[in-house]
Amino acid sequence: MSMDKVQIPWTDSDGKPGFWGALHSLPRRVYHSVFRSRPIPANDLERSQAVAANFFFHLHSAKVQERTLRFKTTLGLGLLSLYTFVILVVTGILLMFYYVPTPVEAYDRMLDLRGAVFFGTFLRNLHRWSAHAMVGLVFLHLMRVFLTGAHKAPREFNWMVGIVLFLLTLLLSFTGYLLPWDQLAFWAIVVGTSIASYAPVVGDELRYVLLGGDSVGAEALLRFYVLHVAVLPVVLTTLIGLHFWRIRKDGGLAKPREK
């Protein structure tokens, strides 16, 4: 912990300066400037540091209950939901390179994905099936949490965040549904948004704001596109961060009481 261990820059590990020594230690310096632990931790202290000192791992505690790792405890559904979202972000960004959100161009771009873009069909397929999978997996995760009583105190708030995440997942899927601009997409959104107009007092206004007009047209396509690729993913990602943070703050996964 003392400061006298700090190595003076451009000396070799014996403390002697020299060009070759410096060159020799360069890879190690670069590695340890990025990672604070060795690639394969050798003892429990280093295993703890490997988790705590890594930006991507640090939302884990250094040690976890063995129980929470058993498949039966969660069926992996929360992670599966996250993974489908990650796949959707990656494939979605790649699709954005090809897609144009106008009624004139959108459908042609779908045909391009099928006929002219390398792996375009696979990209669109993977995005579409992952989206359906995410809706299902998030709902199954919601069911798992309720049926294991994991929504009860002290996890009430995280349960509510989870409900909002589920609704956002539906909205993300719904806004993406319009983008191919084929008959299936168009009429599904006509039907879906007409449900919004059944809301009392503000129903028609709500639908007007959603569509940017009285019917599904160019403005609606643009609005759904912006919601789908910018607004909703940012909100969802932020709330996912809050959701994970609260798991730790609420004491980890719900655990059975002592008998």
Contacts of another protein in 33-72 (CB under 8 A): 36-41, 44, 47-51, 53, 57, 60-67, 69, 72
Q: Does 125 bind another protein (CB under 8 A)?
A: yes
Chain residues 217-246 in contact with another protein, contact rule CB under 8 A: none
Least spacing, CB of residue 80 vs another protein, in Å: 6
Least spacing, CB of residue 92 vs another protein, in Å: 13
Q: Does 110 bind another protein (CB under 8 A)?
A: yes
Q: Does 27 bind another protein (CB under 8 A)?
A: yes
Can you read off the two tokens belonging to residue 162? 């989870």
Q: Which of 153, 201, 214, 259 binds another protein (CB under 8 A)?
A: 153
Cα four-point dihedral sign 60, 248, 147, 142: negative
Nearest residue (CB) to another protein, 56 versus 97: 56
C-alpha pair distances (Å), 223 with each of 21, 169, 217, 219, 229: 60, 17, 10, 6, 10
Q: Which of 10, 93, 116, 152 binds another protein (CB under 8 A)?
A: 152
Least spacing, CB of residue 230 vs another protein, in Å: 21
Name residues whose C-beta falls within 8 Å of residue 55's C-beta, 6 or more positions apart in sequence. none
Q: Which of 31, 96, 105, 209 binds another protein (CB under 8 A)?
A: 31
Q: Which of 17, 23, 116, 156 binds another protein (CB under 8 A)?
A: 156
Least spacing, CB of residue 76 vs another protein, in Å: 5
Q: Does 214 bind another protein (CB under 8 A)?
A: no
Can you read off the two tokens belonging to residue 199? 């809301």
SS (H, E, C) 87-140: HHHHHHHHHHCCCCCCCCCHHHHHHHHHHCCCCHHHHHHHHHHHHHHHHHHHHH
Distance CA 158, CA 167 (A): 14
Q: Which of 96, 160, 209, 230 binds another protein (CB under 8 A)?
A: 160
Q: Does 253 bind another protein (CB under 8 A)?
A: yes
Chain residues 176-205 in contact with another protein, contact rule CB under 8 A: 177, 180-188, 190-192, 195-196, 198-200, 203
Nearest residue (CB) to another protein, 136 versus 231: 136
Phi first, then psi, for residue 99 (nearest 5°) are: -90, 145
| Secondary structure class of 2 (helix, strand, coil) | coil
Q: How far is CA 125 from the centre of its chain?
A: 19
Nearest residue (CB) to another protein, 187 versus 245: 187
Return the closest-CA partner of residue 225 out of 186, 257, 177, 182: 177
Least spacing, CB of residue 5 vs another protein, in Å: 6
Size of the site for another protein (CB under 8 A): 107
Name the CA radius of gyration of the chain, rounded: 25
